Amino acid sequence: MKHFIGVDAGTSGIKVVVFNELGRVCGSGYHECSVITPKPGWVEQNPETLWDACNSAVKMAIASCGEKADVASISFSGQMQGCLLVDRNLQPIGNCIIWLDQRAVSEVDEIMSVISDDEALRLTSNHCLNSFWAPKLLWIKKNRPQDYERAYKVMFVKDYLRLRMTGEIATEVSDASLSFMLDVANRQWSWPVFSKLGIDRSLVPDTLSESYEVVGHLLKSVAEEWGISAGIPVVAGAGDQPAGGVGTGIIRPGVLGASLGTSGVVFGCTASPLIDPQNRAIMTMAHSAENMWCFLGLVLSAGGSFKWLRDTLFADKKAECLAQGTDIYDYMTSLAAKARPGCEGLTFLPYLNGEKTPVCDENARGVFFGLSFRHGINEICRSVMEGVTFAMRDSIEICREMGNSVTEIRATGGGAKSDLWLQMQADIYKANVVTMNVDEGPAAGAAILAAVGAKYFNSVEEGCNAWLKVTKSVEPNPAAARIYDEYYAGYRQLYPALKECFAHQAATISRQIERD
């Protein structure tokens, strides 16, 4: 039986899943990755660490199959917006500046002084964000000119891993959509942007493919180390959100995805580019499905907020749960379940490292609002879950506002593993929330793309129909939905009231750091 490998290169780690031709998981491996934060708002990862994690996870996944896997092809899901430079010897130049990084703020202002909002939407279908390639490259050009001059190509994380597997440099349209250098509507590089910004055209990969196309073949040296056949096709793959869209069957309009991982993402599919005239960090992309486009709204610290709570207030309990073989998150959600919906006004803003959709503010920070003597640890746990879900609803409301119907929301990530969080999402989103038979959405999407590239499936749609099924459906509780509507209205008032406070605090911190 043929097998297909999906490599999911996330921020916290790299997960590799082996699927057979029936869509069943035969093996998996995972290796954690650390992030580097040299300054406030700066977030990087070491490319060599990323490859080591990938290498380890692939070997683990293949070994866990129990028998020699007949691997037919490999593809990828990867964290998006990472800016990784390589020199002419294909060696990394410094660390990868990842999607969480906030340093290129002034470069966005420079870009928008040259390219108006209307022109940006016409040329790229997106407003410029500081996480995109263009502002990061301008930051490097200004602050690290020697690195910019040495640079041969700029790459996304998954494309660097593929380079290590094949020796070939390539990228594809879904990841490239969030570079601010792609004409998303026409699925080709937007050369006028390069000219206007003074970015060398030669920096981007010469090969720009669709997500399901073969862009290389596995090197003999890598294949021998992994114990699989050399020369098998390696498929372009996709950014983690479009790959997750494929892996959860979000390949038609009306069905949205709500992924609660380190970040939180609301993801939808459209028949033509969805362009938000307001700068609310709704990102528009070429989809990995044939002739489709997609969009996403991004909450920077979604599951990351719950992890922060775990590490801050439950460090001892985490160790205790580990020793007992229980899950600390199950314990935390059991506490949250004891609190009432809305937590009697305790509201959490999940802006621990700035925020994207819809406020697009690198200075925003986390807030507990409405704390009283009546609140305890139960309410604190629940308010974090609710605040993250309110932030996700912001993107869903933008989708509705722009005339897109929402018939179903497919939950993935940590938010799909908790019955409490599933019900909370249904109540806050005011929509049916479902889970799928495949837990590993991005890895499953990568494997489907691998199978399409290997000609096992004739199309992405055929692969989705063959492998994916809805397993659970949760309907909104009308009474809870009404309560959450009221508290959501209050939530929406907090950021505008605090925006200037966030800016003042950021300036104060910056001065303090300079003095130190």
Angstrom distance (rounded) from CA 479 to CA 34: 43
Query: Which residues make beta-bridge pairs with 25?
Result: 19
Angstrom distance (rounded) from CA 332 to CA 317: 10
Average pLDDT value for residue range 461-467: 97
* Confidence at 446, pLDDT banded by 50, 70, 90: very high
| % residues pLDDT > 90 (the chain) | 93
In the chain the domains, ranked by start, together with CATH numbers, are 2-247 (3.30.420.40), 301-401+485-515 (3.30.420.40)
Active-site entry in 8, 101, 240, 427: 240
Give the distance between the most distant pair of CA atoms in the chain.
Answer: 65
Does residue 67 surpass a pLDDT of 80?
A: no
Per the omega criterion (within 30 degrees of 0), is the bond before 358 cis? yes
* Confidence at 21, pLDDT banded by 50, 70, 90: very high
pLDDT of residue 439: 80
pLDDT of residue 426: 98
Q: Is residue 240 annotated as part of the catalytic site, yes or no?
A: yes
Model confidence, pTM: 0.89
25-50 pLDDT per residue, tens: 999 999 999 999 998 889 999 999 99
Q: Which of 155, 166, 107, 109 is nearest to 135 (CA)?
A: 107
372: helix, strand or coil: coil
Residue 18, amino acid: V
Per the omega criterion (within 30 degrees of 0), is the bond before 135 cis? no
Angstrom distance (rounded) from CA 402 to CA 270: 12
Angstrom distance (rounded) from CA 414 to CA 422: 10
* Confidence at 321, pLDDT banded by 50, 70, 90: very high
Token representation of residue 278: 């307001």
Does residue 68 surpass a pLDDT of 80?
A: no
